[in-house]
Amino acid sequence: MKILLFGGAFDPPHKGHVSILKKAAQHTDFDKIIVMPTGTPTHKKGCVAPFDVRLHMAKLAFGDIGENVEISDYEGTNLKDDYTYLTLEYLKEKYDNPHIFMAIGSDSLLSLNSWKNAQQVMDSCTVLAFAREDDVEDDMAEKEAELEKTGADIRFIKVDPVEFSSSQYRKGFGEENRDFLPQNVQNIIDEYDIYAQDDITRWKGTARLLAKLLLDEKRYIHTLNVEKLAAELGEKYSLDVEKLRVAALLHDIMKNASYDILLHRASQSGIINKIEDKPKQTLHGFAAAHYAAKEMDIQDQDILWAVKSHTCGRYGMQDMEKVIYLADMLCEERKFDSKDYLLGIAKENLDKAMYAALQHSLEWIKSKGNTVDTDSLGALEYFAQLAGEIC
């Protein structure tokens, strides 16, 4: 079995990437062509767009090239470092030791022997190296001669150069480069502000797209309702409404994730010391905060804490956390007897509302025979202490 592997950040995927893949596909009669966006790396600076957005853009850019093309989510979901040697190991095991051809650019070839476990990489595949600039062909030939002494199988393929830089595009020089992106990719970037230079604008747009991509329809509608009520309460209490929108859009972003991903992200969220003590239903908030920080590079603590504590609360909650907690509980589609009463309190006093909401929530959890999270008990204690001052 012959497999063509084409990996990259695809941040964003552009017509040069498409041209390379089409040219590589002509090299031989491949049984399968795998386009593999890189995961969010632990060993170098990450991408601007989170993995799930880059995966979606890759599907738009490469999805119609041929029936044997697969856009793989492996490197973004395998919970391991995304080193190439590990990916090659995975493919050889999955497809019973196929002949893998790996397409790379000139810059990657010139640095190939510095990759993690480089010899294993070269022993595991045939390298299709693309010369995109005339002035690097001599350097590539020299590198080929050097690497072939170690047993590497390297084959050159010439492609017409595409004068486009993804990094320049991401830095805000996109207008003059729009023609270099597939139209459906450009449309997504425009609609959701994926590469906006302003952090809040970029976070908000990206979070809105992620909610659409990662959540089922019911949870997606819930998320939009939480955003709506959070913005209303934020206006009422003179809080940063745009930050609240970001937190609301991200609060349930891991709700439909598999348990192993939930556990993995929650355990790295930075505030769980004994993860075994956390009820399963609370993990998605911690996992979502880790996702926001790791995948989207959100380091704003107001947003992260609002996402982390939206399910169980915590001792010493700040106003943005209270708003997201209450908006999650009291948004439009929620139906329970005391909802309107609690919502009325929320529009008058956040601390009173939190005390009443926590009492209601803990009673409901106990009635179902579920475990009450210790953070929820701490939050109840905190607002009980405040109750004497605000009643």
Tell me the average pLDDT across 354-378: 90
Per DSSP, 196 falls in state -
Per DSSP, 180 falls in state G
Mean predicted lDDT score pLDDT of the chain: 90
Among 20-24, 52-56, 134-138, the minimum mean pLDDT is found in 134-138
pLDDT at 275: 59
How far apart are alpha carbons 214 and 248 in whole angstroms?
Answer: 15
Question: 69-83, 127-141, 243-257: which has the highest mean pLDDT?
Answer: 243-257
pLDDT in tens, 250-284: 999 999 999 888 888 887 766 545 555 667 778 89
How far apart are alpha carbons 67 and 78 in whole angstroms?
Answer: 25
**Res. 365: pLDDT tops 60:** yes
How far apart are alpha carbons 391 and 389 in whole angstroms?
Answer: 6
pLDDT at 159: 80
Among 94-98, 175-179, 339-343, the minimum mean pLDDT is found in 175-179
**Res. 13: pLDDT tops 80:** yes
How far apart are alpha carbons 6 and 104 in whole angstroms?
Answer: 7
pLDDT at 323: 98
pLDDT in tens, 194-217: 999 999 999 999 999 999 999 999
Domain map (residue ranges) of the chain: 2-185, 214-390
Give the torsion sign (CA, 338, 339, 342, 343): negative
Q: Decide which of 100 and 178 is more confident.
A: 100
Tell me the average pLDDT across 72-79: 90
**Res. 391: pLDDT tops 50:** no
Helix locations, the chain, DSSP H: 15-25, 51-62, 74-77, 84-94, 106-110, 118-124, 137-148, 166-170, 183-192, 199-214, 217-236, 241-250, 259-267, 283-296, 301-308, 319-330, 339-346, 350-367, 374-390
Asked: is 2-185 a CATH 3.30.565.10 domain? The reply is no
Fold of 214-390: Hypothetical protein af1432 (1.10.3210)
Query: 214-220: long-range contacts (C-beta < 8 A, 24 or more apart)?
Result: 214/52, 214/253, 214/254, 214/256, 214/257, 215/252, 215/253, 215/255, 215/256, 216/256, 219/252, 219/255, 219/256
How far apart are alpha carbons 60 and 184 in whole angstroms?
Answer: 6
pLDDT at 169: 77
